[in-house]
Amino acid sequence: QARWVVVGGASILDHSAYRGEFERRLLSYGADDQRAVVCTGVLSEAQITACYALADVVAAPSLREGFGLCALEALAAGVPLVASARAPFTEYLDADNAILVDPENTEELTAGLRRALSFDGRAERVQSGLLRARRFRWSNVAAEHQRLYEALLERGLREQLVEVREGRGRA
């Protein structure tokens, strides 16, 4: 009775190779299994929010990922998350808020999904996920970027001043 809903499709990364492999493999399964997989394509923000509200678990077993915004969206929606145990996910997720798995190991991915669907530790992971997602609110991200840009600008100005003092740069 399970449904696998593949949301999205737009990316700055080229996923055409493994997307093609996914589609070829899906076609090799029976009609019932094919009907259990729904590929939505690109959705509006409201539609994506509705998908998270309906989800029992979000799986992000990506082989290549730019940042993995879907992982933070899942955490913010209070949905258990299974994600790749590789960057970028490992840069901001841990075992307290997500189940991290080898995305190329079918048994590990299956066990991770089963664990996420069980109630063992689920409430604690969801609560930790909500706290982690709050750290990445747009206002927090913008403030951190501003701090970093100001530090880089200040460092650049200091380096220019040193060059001027040493006669290597222009005033």
Residue type, 21: E
pLDDT at 110: 96
The per-residue pLDDT for range 132-150, each reduced to its tens digit, is 998 888 898 888 888 888 8
Residues 38 and 5 sit within 8 Å (Cβ to Cβ): yes
| Half-sphere exposure in the Cβ direction for 24 (13 Å, CA) | 6
The per-residue pLDDT for range 48-90, each reduced to its tens digit, is 999 999 999 999 998 888 888 999 999 999 999 999 999 999 9
Both structure tokens of 158: 């200091």
Distance of CA 108 to CAs 105, 160, 171, Å?
A: 5, 52, 60
Name the residue among 47, 75, 87 with its Cα closest to residue 136: 75
Residue 81 burial (10 A CB sphere; 0-12, 13-18, 19+):
buried
Residues 61 and 101 sit within 8 Å (Cβ to Cβ): yes
Task: State pTM to two decimals.
Answer: 0.78
What's 168's DSSP letter?
Answer: S
CA 169 to the chain's CA centroid: 44
